[in-house]
Amino acid sequence: MYVGSSATQPLPVPDDPRTVVSDADTEAARGGDDVQEQQRSQTVEAEELLEQSLMDSVFKKVDSAQRVNDVSNQFDDMFANEVSMYLKQPVIERASDPLQYWKDNKSLLPLLSTVARDLLAIQATNCSSERVNSVGGQIITDNRHNLSRTNAETLIWARHNREFIC
């Protein structure tokens, strides 16, 4: 025995998909016009809540951007103040240690101190890497591409230091 198709009526589909209809609302909708008015008021309330939440999210983003902008402006002001204080400092002697200077002035110039210590940590070289690569390109050619690593390094070293060898 098949139960159902004539015993139940199809559920009404709301015009606005954002409207949530409960079973009680469905039963009341079958009963009269006051239920339709109730559904309309619920739809209006749902739309107002949606608009309010959208506006809240927009204002939150605007407030967040404003806070980031304020922090950025404060950082710019702090950095400008540190640069002006640094420029007013007396020039240190050429033989003194720049790392020691920045360590001593870390509390006075914290931003510049951090940048200076990072830049001063870069290792200086007395040999141009381009020059070494150029010599390597002259030694390892299409005709000599099967050189072992040790032999290639030895030939590059010898070419680079030939004035000291002979």
Q: How far apart are CA 97 and CA 120, in angstroms?
A: 11
- Give the relative orientation of helices 110-120 and 33-88 as an angle to the nearest 10 degrees: 70
> DSSP class of residue 96?
S
Ranges of each domain in the chain = 11-88, 97-124, 129-165
Model pTM above 0.75? no
pLDDT tens, residue by residue, 61-95: 777 777 777 777 787 888 888 889 999 988 889 88
Closest residue by Cα to residue 21 from 34, 11, 32, 9: 11
CA distances from 94 to 83, 106, 122, 138 (A): 20, 20, 19, 41
